[in-house]
Every structure is written in C-alpha cells, then in structure tokens.
Amino acid sequence: MKLKVLVVAGDGIGPEVTGEAVRVLRTVAELGGYDFEFREALIGGVAIKQHGLPLPSSTLDAALESDAVLLGAVGGNEFNSLPPDRRPEAGLLQLRQSLGGYANLRPSFAWPALASNSPLKAEVVDGADILFVRELLGGLYFGEPRSWDREAGSAWNTMRYTRDEVIRVARVAFELAGARRKKVTSVDKANVLEVSQLWRATVTELASQYPDITLEHQYVDACAMHLMNTPRNFDVVLTENLFGDILSDEAAVITGSLGMLPSATLGGTVNLYEPVHGSAPDIAGKGLANPLGAILTAAMVLRHSAKLEQDAQAVETAVRKVLEQGYRTADLARGQSKMGVTTQEMGKHVHQALNEIIDR
Ligand code: NAD
Ligand code: IPM
Ligand code: MN
C-alpha cells in the first residue's frame, strides 16, 4: 500500500495538531508495513508571509500530485482587515475548489467517555451519532456576483445552487445513510429562499431512487434547536455550504469540544482532510490544542483514501481508549485536571494505544 500525503499545516494550532495526526499515520504505516510518503507545503497566513499569497502555485501543484491532502487550519488575527480574496481563508477556499471535492463529511459522535464533558445532559447526548454531509463548493461561499461597494454603503453575496450540484451531494448522503441508520434529514430555509426550494424539490425527487431511506426536511432554524434537544433523532444531515458550516460547529457541543471533530471532503480529484476547527489563535503555541479531531481526520484518510478500514477503526479505537483512560486536553477538562495532558502527550498516548491494538 502506497499513499502520498501532502500536509498543509497552516496557521495557529494547525501545525500542532497535524503533527500528532502525522505521527499516528506513521505509526499505522510502520505497524502495517505500508509505504506512506509525507510532503509539506504552505497555505494560509504562513504562505502570505513567505510568498505574498495564501495558496502558492507550488502548494496547489503538490496537492494535485498527491493521493490525499491533510490540512490543519488557516487564519490569524493579523489578517482580519484584509479583503476576503486576500485572506488566509481564501487560500483554503481556492484549494477546495481546485481539488473539486463537493461532499464534506463531518461526523459528530457522543463518545461515552466524554458524556460529562458536554454541557448537555448525559441522557440527551448518550448514543448520538450524526454524520453531516455539507455541500462544500456552492452557495454563498462561491456564488457570483459578490462585492462590497464602500461608496454606496452596500455589499452583496449570492446564494446559488444548480440542480446538478444538489443531486451529486444528496446522492452521497443517501448512499452513506444506506450503510447507517437509513435516515436523511435535509436542512434548508425553503420557507423563505428560492435556492432552498430548489434544494428541497431536488432532494425529494432523488429520494425516490432510495426507497429504503427515510427522508425528512427541516428548516435550519428549527434544526439548530432540535440538534441540542434530541441529537439522537439524527442520522445523516444533508445541507448546503453555510448552514453546514454553522450546524457542524454547533454539533461540537454534543461531542464536548470542537477539537474532537474530523472531516473528509470527497468527490473531487484529490480528497481533502481537515479537522472542523480553526486556527484557534487564543490557544496557539501553548500545547493546549486537542489533537484528537486531527487524529480522527487521519482515520478518515485511512478509510477513504488508503481504503484501510481496519486501520481506520484501530485509530478510532485508540482514541476511545485514551478517553476511557481519562486523558484530557484543556478543552475537555471542564475543571477536572487530574489527567490533564498537552497536545503532544495526547498524541503519544494515542500512539501507545495504537501499538497495543494493531497486533500483527
Ligand atoms: P476556532 O475553531 O479556531 O476556535 C473556536 C474556539 O474553539 C476557540 O476558543 C478555540 O480555542 C477552540 N478550539 C478550536 N480548536 C480547538 C482544539 N483543537 N483544541 C482545543 N480548543 C479548540 O474558530 P475562530 O476562533 O472563530 O477562528 C479562528 C481563525 O480560524 C479564523 O481566522 C477563522 O477564519 C479560522 N478558521 C479556519 C478553519 C480552517 O482552516 N478549516 C476553520 C474555522 C475557522
Ligand atoms: C470550516 C471553516 C471554513 C469554512 C473557513 C475558514 C473558510 O469555517 O472549514 O468550517 O467556512 O468553510
Ligand atoms: Mn467552520
């Protein structure tokens, strides 16, 4: 098994958490006798500082030549006054667009060992297991026209979807639901937006091809509430770009921390893997970042790009073990620091657990 991984660590806690994710991938490669090759490239604020651009062409070329791209995070306070097209985040959006992946999978899982880490009651989150399928290349993020007319004091963005864009991402949601609990909740704002009416009509039409899947529709505002009230009622949540961005961060509350959430973007020429969280400037460089979201993202690399399902599950089991053993980064400590660990220490504990699990 050979796999070329491009690591674009980016800004803030990006290098800290991807460092631990790469350590885990190296461990899996060593134990399984696989040939994983890692290359590094710049993106985001660090790329702006060195090359004047958030996505240098050398990074894009290296990404297109790889089998998988593992990204940390981009963004930093010093870039906040730049226009959107010159910010670190623009580099990430350009990378997503160039790689072409439109289905962003964001699982949110209530790890039993973390039941007391969620601000929600344990009996509410217990057993929750949600997979968000977020459309990643359309909607307000990419719609034209977009502009800020400073003189006129007005600005606009365009929310646009085509039927084909909805069909291709909805298909992914139905297929994935078929291997899970066979329910898709499609989230929109069809009571107000034409784009959402197109979305709902298209998803409903496609559902007829999947008779064993139950389809329900929710408005995004109600969904935001239901997610906190009855998270167990959700299986696969299918939604457009911006709604998916917001709801997936909200779903971090079910898990207990944003630092726990992984993602994988499929459907393009090269799959892109990134934890859901950002560069967390408030804790960067202090060894406080939770690397488990990035490590679970590495598990998704094993599952979706390397097709090593057993090893992907081994990494997930290792994460479950370290949580059961009581190790907690600061975001998970909630006042109890008995087993408090740094980013690197957490990575080492996962590495140790993996060694015990993968026994060939
Ligand atoms: P954020 O996700 O960086 O942080 C939100 C909160 O969660 C912060 O309190 C942070 O400390 C905490 N947090 C996030 N990840 C954590 C981890 N692994 N361990 C422990 N705590 C963690 O969001 P923000 O503060 O709104 O944005 C900061 C910057 O990151 C912005 O520039 C934003 O645009 C960027 N961003 C980038 C990505 C990405 O690269 N994929 C995603 C989201 C935000
Ligand atoms: C995410 C982030 C990005 C998004 C930003 C940084 C462009 O918030 O991956 O969730 O909005 O998609
Ligand atoms: Mn986000």
The string of DSSP codes covering 30-58 is HHHT-EEEEEE---THHHHHHHSSSS-HH
Q: Which residues line ligand 1 (CB under 6 A)?
A: 13, 17, 73-75, 89, 92, 258-259, 274, 277-283, 289-290, 293, 331
338 pLDDT tier (thresholds 50, 70, 90): low
Letter for the amino acid at 4?
A: K
**Mean pLDDT of all residues in 321-344:** 87
Q: What is the best residue among 277, 319, 329 to mutate for testing ligand 1's pocket, by most ligand atoms within 8 Å of CB?
A: 277
Determine the distance separating the centroid of ligand 1 and the alpha carbon of 279, expressed in angstroms.
5
Lowest mean pLDDT across 154-168, 188-202, 294-308, 335-349: 335-349
Q: How far is CA 276 from the centre of its chain?
A: 4
pLDDT given at position 306: 98
Q: CA 206 to CA 244: how far, in whole Å?
A: 20
> Any idea which architecture 1-107+258-360 has in CATH?
3-Layer(aba) Sandwich (3.40)
Burial of 182 (0-12, 13-18, 19+ CB in 10 A): middle
Which residues lie across from 4 on neighbouring strands?
37
**pLDDT surpassing 70 at residue 336:** no
Note the pLDDT tens digit of each residue in 207-231.
999 999 999 999 999 999 999 999 9
pLDDT at 347: 98
Q: What is the pLDDT of residue 337?
A: 55
- Read off the pTM: 0.98
Judge contact between 51 and 108, C-beta under 8 A. no
Task: Break the chain into its structural domains and give their ranges.
Answer: 1-107+258-360, 119-255
Catalytic residues: 141, 189, 221, 245, 249
Nearest Cα to 317, choosing from 112, 15, 116? 112
**103 CA from centroid of ligand 2 (Å):** 14
- If pLDDT is split at 50, 70 and 90, which confidence band does 360 have? low
Query: What percent of the chain is modeled with pLDDT above 90?
Result: 96
ipTM value for the complex:
0.99
- The yes/no answer on whether domain 119-255 falls in CATH 3.40.718.10 is yes
Question: Average pLDDT of 20-34?
Answer: 97
User: Roughly what angle, to the nearest 10 degrees, separates helices 57-64 and 88-99?
Assistant: 30
Task: Inform me whether the pLDDT recorded for 341 exceeds 80.
Answer: yes
Average pLDDT over residues 314-331: 97
Residue with tokens 């990643």: 136
111-120, 154-163, 242-251, 330-339: least confident range:
330-339
Tens digit of each residue's pLDDT (9 = 90 or more) over 109-149: 999 999 988 999 999 999 999 999 999 999 999 999 999 99
Round to whole Å and give the CA distance between 39 and 332.
31
From CA 288, how far away is CA 180, in angstroms rounded?
34
Q: Which ligand is nearest to the CA of 330?
A: 1
Phi, psi for 287 (deg, rounded to 5): 70, 20
Q: Would you state the structure tokens that stand for residue 94, as one six-digit string?
A: 């350009």
Domains 1-107+258-360 and 119-255 share a fold: yes
